[in-house]
Amino acid sequence: MIDPDTDLVQRAGQGDRAAAQALMARHLPKMLTLARRMMGSQAEAEDAVQDAFLKLWTHAARWQPGKAKFETWLYRVTMNKCYDRLRKRAPASLDEAVEVADPAPRADSVLEKAGLAEEIEAALQALPERQRAAIVLCHHQEMGNIEAAEVLGISVEALESLLARGRRTLRARLGHLKEE
């Protein structure tokens, strides 16, 4: 397996800040997208990704090329940081939720699209963690089943089962959109 990051990871493990910055520049956008989809919040996503890159910096010297691609390992670390943060969340009470109106005037079509996007995002956030992770990796991060299964540390069959259950749940929750 040829990993384009091997040299950079080894240099980062030796304390080379430029190599660590190059790894961040290469992988930060993908990790932020993954974390944003998992967390449902940009701020929480940034914190989770920051934790993942901190782990990269502190564990780069122990990296063993050939076991898995670096990017796969980084996806796994980022996913675990998201799981950790999701487990620490206190369940929010709907009574305590604050509604903040957008002060900017918007066209009806923009509102409709925004409402649709919010509804889809809410349905995604309502999925169990592992189903959401499978959907995000395969559909939003555009990973193949083999790579996504490796990131999640499960078999391809288990991933396909998670995808099927997640898709079925999303279809049930969003089926009314098809009719409109």
* CATH number for the domain harbouring residue 77: 1.10.1740.10
Give the integer Cα–Cα distance in Å for 81 and 50: 9
- Biggest CA-to-CA distance, the chain: 58
pLDDT tens digit sequence for 110-161: 555 667 778 888 888 899 999 999 999 998 888 899 999 999 999 999 999 9
Q: Do 68 and 3 have their domain in common?
A: yes
Instruction: Considering only residues 2 and 106, tell me which one the structure prediction assigns the higher pLDDT.
Output: 2
Q: What's the confidence (pLDDT) of residue 50?
A: 94
68 occurs within a structural domain:
yes
Model confidence, pTM: 0.62
Question: What total of structural domains would you count in the chain?
Answer: 2
Instruction: Considering only residues 68 and 38, tell me which one the structure prediction assigns the higher pLDDT.
Output: 38
> Mean pLDDT for the chain?
84
Residue linked to tokens 């903040």:
100
Instruction: Considering only residues 25 and 179, tell me which one the structure prediction assigns the higher pLDDT.
Output: 25
Q: Do 83 and 116 have their domain in common?
A: no
Q: Can you give the C-alpha Rg of the chain in angstroms? A: 19
Q: Give kind and range of the element (H or E) at residue 123.
A: helix 108-126
Give the integer Cα–Cα distance in Å for 146 and 138: 10
150 occurs within a structural domain:
yes
Q: Do 63 and 126 have their domain in common?
A: no
**What share of the chain has pLDDT > 90, as a percent?**
43
Residue 23 has pLDDT above 60, yes or no: yes
42 occurs within a structural domain:
yes
Per-residue tokens: 42: 């940009």
Please say whether the beta carbons of 87 and 69 come within 8 A. Answer: no
pLDDT tens digit sequence for 150-166: 999 999 999 999 999 99
Segments forming the whole domain that contains residue 154? 110-180
Q: What's the confidence (pLDDT) of residue 114?
A: 63
Q: Do 84 and 115 have their domain in common?
A: no
Residue 63 has pLDDT above 90, yes or no: no
Residue 51 has pLDDT above 70, yes or no: yes
Q: What's the confidence (pLDDT) of residue 112?
A: 58
**Angstrom distances, CA of residue 109 to CA of 6, 10, 118, 174:** 47, 50, 14, 19
84 occurs within a structural domain:
yes
Confidence of residue 13 (pLDDT cuts 50, 70, 90): confident
125 occurs within a structural domain:
yes
Q: What's the confidence (pLDDT) of residue 70?
A: 87
Q: Do 84 and 114 have their domain in common?
A: no
**What share of the chain has pLDDT > 70, as a percent?**
84
Q: Do 81 and 114 have their domain in common?
A: no
Alpha helices in the chain (DSSP H): 6-13, 17-39, 42-59, 70-88, 108-126, 129-135, 145-152, 156-179
CATH of the domain at 132: 1.10.10.10
Residue 102 has pLDDT above 60, yes or no: no
